[in-house]
Amino acid sequence: MKNQYTKQIHNLKPVFDAFSKILILGSFPSILSRDSKFFYGHPQNRFWKVIATLFHEEVPKNIDEKKALLLKHHIAIWDVVKSCEIIGSADNSIRNVEPNDLNRILRKTSIQNIYVNGKEAFKLYNQYILPIIQKEAILLPSTSPANAKYSLTDLCQAWQKIITIDKE
């Protein structure tokens, strides 16, 4: 059972408002994220530490604080994949993809740049989303604990590029 594909449907609503300028996309929520009902739910995922560090904020502790941090800094988040077959939380096992409709966000915001969190999200974006919306995404190193070659400091340095838009 552990190594079997299961059909999964994305159960998290995107976070954005009319003031969002930055869109950060993951691939598909992990089991822990789906269970916790919010993005980057694995305790070892460094996404929330990176965002908090970049904007000189406290690391958010709950969903409301996480949403507030994102919206304060004009960041929208969602994922590339709406549904797929996947083994556990392994991004590299994703197959039979149905992409999310990013126009749901793009029509209601002033997104200037789209960033993707990790190589698999970038690959999926380029395969399924780019042909539809014709807007290139910028690859950022994954904040996943599986990306152990990047320290928190390395991630923050690489992710620094997202804060330039917030200053405009």
List average pLDDT for each run of 10 residues in the chain, which is 168 residues long: 80 95 93 88 93 97 97 97 85 86 95 96 96 96 91 96 66
> 45: which DSSP letter?
-
Fold of the domain built from segment(s) 6-166: Uracil-DNA Glycosylase, subunit E (3.40.470)
- Report pLDDT for 156: 96
Of 19, 61, 65, 66, nearest to 39 by C-alpha is 66
- Report pLDDT for 2: 64
- Report pLDDT for 164: 67
Q: The pTM is what?
A: 0.93
- Report pLDDT for 146: 85
The domain limits of the chain are 6-166
Of 8, 11, 26, 39, nearest to 121 by C-alpha is 26
Phi, psi at 83, each rounded to 5° = -150, 155
